[in-house]
Structure 1
Amino acid sequence: MTFTTYVFDAYGTLFDVNAAAEAAAAEPDHAALQAVWPKLAFDWRRKQLEYTWLRAVANRHCDFWTVTEDGLDWALEAQGLDDPATRERLLELYWELAAYAEVPAMLAALKASGKQTAILSNGSPAMLEAAVQSAGISEQLDAVLSVETIGVFKPHAQVYDMVQNRFGCARDEVLFVSSNGWDIAGASGYGFHTAWVNHAGDPVDRLYARPHHILQDLTTIPEIT
């Protein structure tokens, strides 16, 4: 089966979730971040994800911006930082996260070969629109799908249903791409073909399904046909 539809997670896959903390740390007004920004960025992302999973199993959904704020507040407190201006700046920068360098060319190559492309993300519609516009990739995407349409976070199967509902494609026509091992397990178990972008060289998660491809970055995605 030839893939017709290439679907990407957003945060950590197309967009660098560490970029906000790194950028703020370089600004004189937020010098307190200089020594701690990598740990803060790590904790921020970890708590952001944990809160989505816990809210999903507890059936207490909220929008992704709320868990993003809550995760940052935890990470700031863990570092002993209590500066409202720094908090505000970090949240402001999260709306314009940098895309990884290879993203525009990779998406352009897929579109040039006639493929359908989409984002499927926990992010709220407003967050995703801001990130896509900031990265300048809106013209290279056929759809930006947010879980807010259904009110449950990944890796619930209803989230992956959104791809078929939007594109009318079979599951085996989809290549799903994510940097998150748990998201790859969800998509693989659902029936999508998957590519895990393993930036950190981590072991494969011991879950119910494995990735079909393991990559260091997104450069070679157009070669997976």
Structure 2
Amino acid sequence: MMDKNKPSRPKVLFFDVNETLLDLTVMKKKVGDALNGNDSLLSLWFTTMLQYALVTSASGQYKPFGHIGAAALQMVAANNNIVLSETEAQNIVVKSMQNLPPHPEVKEALALLKKEGYKLVALTNSSKESLENKFKNVGLTSYFDVLLSIESVGKFKPFSETYHWAAAEMNVNNEDCMLIAAHGWDVGGALWAGWRAAFVSRPGQQKFPLAPDTGITASDLNQIAQILITY
């Protein structure tokens, strides 16, 4: 007999990549070094990158996410009397993003979800080439059925159209999708787009209090996987 109180199983699990799956510590160290060791500027750099990614999309433009990150680094550096050329900034941001290690529990959690029959899709603001290289370099490619970059639609998450596009790419309805991410803006965007969501509460990350609540919140991906296999 079916348990009416038991949540239905999502048809597709979409995973954010940076910080959700991959540990950004190495990249943050390189960015911090470029900012003369002023670690307090790291969060400002990251939020500036997200701000200008949204500005780019809202203006009907597209630039690779890594290039926006490099431009944001130049801006934060300039406000602190540090001069970085475009080439220097891109070498710091773009190249350091190619060899980010997965968080310790990630492979085990993905393997469990795959074994349980879930369809796993990576959904990232990074370019398709960057995504493919990242996963190849750290051995994550085989865990995923599909790798999706917003580069194909030209609009960054959390625009609703981007989540709708991803659902259409997988030929499923929005209500059959679940985003798993470590960013409040990302899970909020997914929920507002009609998806379900699970929040990975990595250190320093919080859900947006004005967004709908996620169905699942846990401190790491393995805990989320343990919940999902009961569906």
TM over 0.5: yes
Contact 2:179 2:196 survives alignment (8 Å): yes
Question: 1:98 aligns to what SS in structure 2?
Answer: coil
Deviates more, 1:160-169 or 1:64-73: 160-169
Aligned to 1:181: 184
User: Which aligned pairs between 1:11-22 and structure 2 lie closer than 5 A?
Assistant: 11-22=18-29
Superposed displacement of residue 208, structure 1: 4.2
Q: Take 1:111 and 1:128, find their aligned partners in 2: how far apart are those partners?
A: 20
Contact 1:96 1:131 survives alignment (8 Å): yes
Q: Take 2:31 and 2:179, find their aligned partners in 1: how far apart are those partners?
A: 32
User: Which aligned pairs between 1:121-140 and structure 2 lie closer than 5 A?
Assistant: 121-140=124-143
Aligned to 1:61: 62
Q: Across the two proteins, how many residue pairs are aligned to each other? A: 219
Contact 2:180 2:199 survives alignment (8 Å): yes
Q: Does 1:210 align with 2:196?
A: no
Residues 203-223 of structure 1, C-alpha deviations (whole Å, 9 max, x = no match)? 531334232222212121222
Aligned to 1:167: 170
User: Which aligned pairs between 1:1-225 and structure 2 lie closer than 5 A?
Assistant: 1-22=8-29, 35-36=37-38, 38-82=39-83, 87=89, 88-200=91-203, 203-223=206-226, 224=228, 225=231
**Taking structure 1 as reference, are residues 63 and 210 closer, same or farther at Cα in structure 2, changes over 3 Å only?**
same
Q: Take 1:67 and 1:183, find their aligned partners in 2: how far apart are those partners?
A: 18
Contact 1:43 1:71 survives alignment (8 Å): no
TM-score when normalising by structure 1: 0.85
Amino acid at match of 1:172: E
Q: Take 2:43 and 2:18, find their aligned partners in 1: how far apart are those partners?
A: 13
Amino acid at match of 1:134: N
Deviates more, 1:178-187 or 1:13-22: 13-22
Superposed displacement of residue 140, structure 1: 0.3
Residues 104-140 of structure 1, C-alpha deviations (whole Å, 9 max, x = no match)? 1111111111111011111111111121112210000
TM-score when normalising by structure 2: 0.83
Q: Take 2:197 and 2:24, find their aligned partners in 1: how far apart are those partners?
A: 21
Stretches of structure 1 that go unaligned for 5 or more consecutive residues are none
Q: Take 1:79 and 1:216, find their aligned partners in 2: how far apart are those partners?
A: 34
Superposed displacement of residue 96, structure 1: 1.6
Residues 154-198 of structure 1, C-alpha deviations (whole Å, 9 max, x = no match)? 111221123322322233332211111111111112222111112
Stretches of structure 2 that go unaligned for 5 or more consecutive residues are 1-7
Amino acid at match of 1:98: P
Question: 2:100 aligns to what SS in structure 1?
Answer: coil
Residues 82-122 of structure 1, C-alpha deviations (whole Å, 9 max, x = no match)? 36696434542122222211111111111111111011111
Question: 2:221 aligns to what SS in structure 1?
Answer: coil
Identity of aligned residues (%): 22
